[in-house]
Amino acid sequence: QKEVEQNSGPLSVPEGAIASLNCTYSDRGSQSFFWYRQYSGKSPELIMFIYSNGDKEDGRFTAQLNKASQYVSLLIRDSQPSDSATYLCAVNMGGGYSTLTFGKGTMLLVSP
């Protein structure tokens, strides 16, 4: 059974700090990896995706992928109170499978 694991949190960081969110997955054949942000009462919105080992940066966000260790992480630099949300990690197997397997999400709280 495909699994995606995330620490539920909450992860509390002060404003301006770096928030580090981690995710591990069980299917070694997984090919694409996504981070979504979900504010309370809203639907998920895509933040970043990553396909290759290494780092991918987009503004204050950096996604890191290590396929050998089967983990993917999201770093948020200069965290803002508006970043307070639940962050969902999602994984796709590829190979014709279109579904994403979601983790349960990590709640991030950024305090002013």
Partner 1 sequence: GAVVSQHPSRVICKSGTSVKIECRSLDFQATTMFWYRQFPKQSLMLMATSNEGSKATYEQGVEKDKFLINHASLTLSTLTVTSAHPEDSSFYICSARDLRDPMNTQYFGPGTRLTVL
Enumerate binding residues for partner 1 (CB under 8 A).
31-32, 34, 36, 41-46, 49, 51, 88, 90, 92, 94, 97-100, 102, 104-105
- Cβ distance to partner 1 smaller for residue 43 or 82: 43
- Cβ distance to partner 1 smaller for residue 19 or 88: 88
Phi-psi region of 51 (alpha: psi -120 to 50; beta: other; left: phi over 0): alpha
Length of the chain in terms of residues written: 112
Query: Tokens 């979601």 appear where?
Result: 102
- Cβ distance to partner 1 smaller for residue 19 or 89: 89
